[in-house]
Amino acid sequence: MSQSNNLEPVNALDRAAFVGAFASVFEHFPQAAEGAWSARPFISEAALHDAMMDVIRHLDADAQRAFLNQHPLLSGANIRSGTMTADSDAEQKSAGLDSMAADQEAALDRLNASYLARHGFPFIICVRHYTREGIFSALERRIGRSTQQELDEALAQIAAITRARLKARLSALNSCEISRI
């Protein structure tokens, strides 16, 4: 755990404040924060993240699929629509998905549709870890995998995405705490 992420303020939050601070870490799923609250006190950022991921891992198969289906498709049109969460919008823009040529957007739309038809949930990838070309390559490769492999991979990618989001929330929280001293 880094010095900048002191968890004493997090551990001291009541349930409502804790959920308010971390509800948006998981896409449209405040239940991850709600479920993790009872695991306090957290000894590290990793322990907090693990508690939130455990909520997701312990969902039954239908609930996990419903959770995955809350995630937006990777799409320039989604970015332009302004309907995504601020996190998803920033993440997709970081991979240049907002500046694709028309043929690239059409190709991404076709790949997304194929993936969704095969697996029943959207393609999920931690876009901050990939170039735009790397995202296309991973999507093409992952379409052909088994749905169970993709469920496992989607959860691993969500772990990477939410780890970064949580780190940002903790840094912001600690900055607020430090500025009050």
4 close to 171: Cβ distance less than 8 angstroms: yes
What does the DSSP 8-state code read for residue 27?
T
| Cα–Cα distance list, 179 to 14, 22, 164, 173, 176 (Å) | 21, 20, 23, 10, 5
162 close to 15: Cβ distance less than 8 angstroms: no
Closest listed residue to residue 64, CA positions, set 142, 152, 143, 125: 152
Contacts (Cβ under 8 Å, ≥6 apart) of 151: 64, 65, 68, 119, 121
User: Catalytic residues, which ones?
Assistant: 71
What does the DSSP 8-state code read for residue 3?
T
CA 171 to chain CA centroid, Å, is 17
**Conformational region of residue 39, where left means phi above 0, alpha means psi within -120 to 50, and beta covers everything else:** alpha
